[in-house]
């Protein structure tokens, strides 16, 4: 007669973490489907299979949950970014790294709508805007740091600073991702490769200009 192991009983902390994660996952789906402003606590708790009491045992508000969701998503993106720029198997050219960066952190990132909702919310809520702006700055600074390391490793120096290039690439990729959502057949990987090839070629042959020191705070999300 076959014996079955008894299911492991979760500790109180594990149970709380599981509830919290399910609420976050449910909220992510609701926000991306209906938008942050239109989403209600009832929508989120129903999708997660919990009550309002369970929600307030884990989060003080819908906004607090949204910020944690963004923070976790940013941590995941930064982990992918580190893996890309630390990948020694990639070709030794800026274009190769930027293509991987676009594919991993933008093209294949399902969180674009989530962050678009956050940007809209930041324009309407000054308290949220301050926290969201800090997330955007951290992301931009991480990109700046990795681009600076790539330039130092590969050379020659770019005619713009790493901070300027990071901001420009973020704006470019966000715009391309938006168009990709509307018309994925139009924004192909081949098109992106052509854009980056020309961008890298022009950057390496242009005359030097005044640069911004790495680490300079650049306002984003305004």
Q: What is the mean pLDDT of residues 123-127?
A: 92
Weakest-pLDDT range from 28-32, 82-86, 185-189, 207-211: 207-211
The tens digit of pLDDT for each residue in 96-117 reads 888 888 888 887 777 888 999 9
User: In this structure, are 108 and 37 located in the same domain?
Assistant: no
How many domains does the chain contain in total? 2
User: In this structure, are 133 and 161 located in the same domain?
Assistant: yes
User: In this structure, are 44 and 123 located in the same domain?
Assistant: no
The tens digit of pLDDT for each residue in 141-192 reads 999 998 888 888 776 777 788 899 899 989 988 888 888 888 888 888 888 8
Q: Which domain holds residue 41?
A: 11-60
Residue 6 lies in a domain: no
Burial class (CB in 10 A: 0-12, 13-18, 19+), 195: middle
């Amino acid at each position: 007669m076959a014996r079955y192991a008894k299911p492991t009983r979760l500790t109180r902390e594990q149970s709380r973490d599981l509830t919290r994660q399910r609420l976050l996952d449910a909220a992510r789906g609701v926000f991306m489907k209906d938008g942050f402003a239109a989403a209600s606590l009832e929508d989120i708790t129903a999708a997660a299979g919990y009550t309002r009491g369970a929600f307030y045992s884990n989060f003080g508000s819908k906004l607090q949950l949204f910020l944690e969701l963004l923070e976790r998503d940013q941590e995941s993106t930064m982990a992918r970014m580190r893996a890309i720029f630390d990948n020694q198997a990639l070709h030794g050219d800026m274009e190769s790294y930027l293509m991987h960066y676009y594919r991993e952190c933008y093209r294949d990132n399902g969180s674009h709508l989530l962050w678009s909702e956050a940007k809209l919310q930041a324009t309407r809520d000054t308290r949220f805007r301050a926290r969201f702006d800090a997330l955007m700055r951290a992301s931009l600074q991480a990109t700046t740091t990795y681009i600076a390391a790539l330039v130092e490793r590969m050379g020659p120096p770019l005619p713009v600073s790493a901070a300027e290039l990071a901001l420009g690439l973020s704006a470019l990729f966000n715009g391309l991702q938006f168009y990709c959502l509307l018309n994925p057949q139009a924004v192909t990987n081949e098109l992106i490769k052509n854009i980056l090839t020309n961008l890298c070629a022009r950057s390496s042959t242009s005359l030097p200009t005044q640069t911004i020191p790495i680490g300079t705070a650049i306002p984003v999300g305004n």
